[in-house]
Amino acid sequence: MHYTLKEEIKNFSFILPALVIFSFFYILPFFYTFLLALHQGSGLSSLKFVGLENFRRLLSPAGVVILSGSMGSILVVAPLLRFWKERKAAPEGSRVKRIILRIVGIGSIGIGGVCIFYGFRAFSEIFSSSAWVIDREWWASVGRSFYITLWALTFQNFLAFALALCVDRAIRTGQIYRAIFFLLPVLSEIIIGLLVRSLLLPYPGVLPHFLERLGLESWIRDWLNDPRYALTTLAITHCWRGFGWGFVILLAGLQTIPQTLYEAARIDGANGWQRFIRITIPLMLPVIVLVVILTILGTVQVIGLPMVLTRGGPAGRTTVSVLRIYNELKNYHAGYASSQGIILGIILVTLSFTLLKISNKLKKI
């Protein structure tokens, strides 16, 4: 069924209010972040245009050249390929949608061309003595974020999967366990942080007092203020709070697997391990990839727990990437904080798409 342009505009007007609200609160701030990254200042006033200086400080001059060249190539090639396919295939979708996509494509080509031009112009900087000077403190904070993420991907998700497998067979009590395990993720990070802090502080912490009463004074540690234990304590606390999300998603995935498959495999002589490897894992693979992606996105962006538990200390040992961005904003360095947020977003998007590609490849095996 084909609509005239007037009918398409009329239909489009019904979603226009929602689109305006979405644009005001999401799309405009998204582009304003890129604009701020090209400036120095507080973000509200006294902005000074500095170009890509914030990215040069963050990534090194050579890193900016490589990033601008690769990003520019993607922004140019992707819409050109789409335009080429549209020429050979019949037009799909409404006319308004095609017009919007063409405008976006032309804008993407323009931005990509500027990036490529900058990359060629500054190519000689790769061979300078300061070509690879980076902000080591920022990348150290990113490393701490991924250290916590490693704990979440292993300990947290293995715990969630194990509990989901156990509860999957408990038909009568499954709803009770689901509510209990999902309680922690529902609670605020601030509440969990204050609770754990009251448990672990040397005085008047509950855990040290309990160990002292048991005569285990040698086990007492300053878990939140000792540089050897603070980051790991933060990681374990995050896992304890967040495993409920993965548990509920994995349990929902397990309950979609038909029991007839397990019964047929049992009749064919397959033991429990073989049923788990041959049936459960292949059918749960899309759900596992989803949980992994959500875990990475959620853990790298953690900020509430480190703010309450350690405030980034001791000596910055628990200052994660998003907390460092917050500190830059608090110090009126909105431009540099925006560039950090953009780089962190690029890292997360790249990881997410890579995992999705790997998942799609595994499905075809």
Q: Where are the domains of the chain?
A: 5-127, 136-364
**pTM of structure:** 0.85
pLDDT at residue 86 is higher than 80: no
- Residue among 164, 306, 299, 315 nearest 239 (CA): 299
Burial 222-258 (b: 16+ CB within 10 A, else e): bbbbeeebbbebbbbbbbebbbbbbbbbbbebbeeee
CA 208, CA 213: separation in Å to the nearest integer?
9
pLDDT score at 23 = 86
Under a CB-based contact definition with an 8 Å cutoff, are residues 38 and 52 in contact? yes
Start-to-end C-alpha separation, the chain: 39
pLDDT at 129: 60
pLDDT at res. 272? 85
Burial class (CB in 10 A: 0-12, 13-18, 19+), 58: buried
Which pLDDT score, from 0 to 100, does residue 87 have?
74
SS3 39: strand
- Under the banding of pLDDT at 50, 70 and 90, the label for residue 3 is low
Q: What is the pLDDT of residues 291-318, one digit of tens each?
A: 999 999 989 989 989 998 888 888 888 9
Dump pLDDT digits (tens) for 104-156.
888 888 888 888 887 777 776 666 666 667 788 999 999 999 999 999 999 99
Instruction: Please report, rounded to a whole number, the percentage of residues in the chain having pLDDT higher than 90.
Output: 17
Which has more pLDDT, 250 or 8? Answer: 250
The SS3 of residue 85 is helix
Q: Which of 61-65, 232-236, 287-291 has the lowest mean pLDDT?
A: 61-65
Return the minimum-mean-pLDDT range out of 112-126, 232-246, 265-279. 112-126
Give me the pLDDT at residue 29, please.
87
Per-residue confidence at 101, pLDDT binned at 50, 70, 90? confident
pLDDT of residue 92: 64
> Which CATH code of 1.10.357.10, 1.25.40.20, 1.10.3720.10, 3.30.70.100 fits the domain covering 136-364?
1.10.3720.10
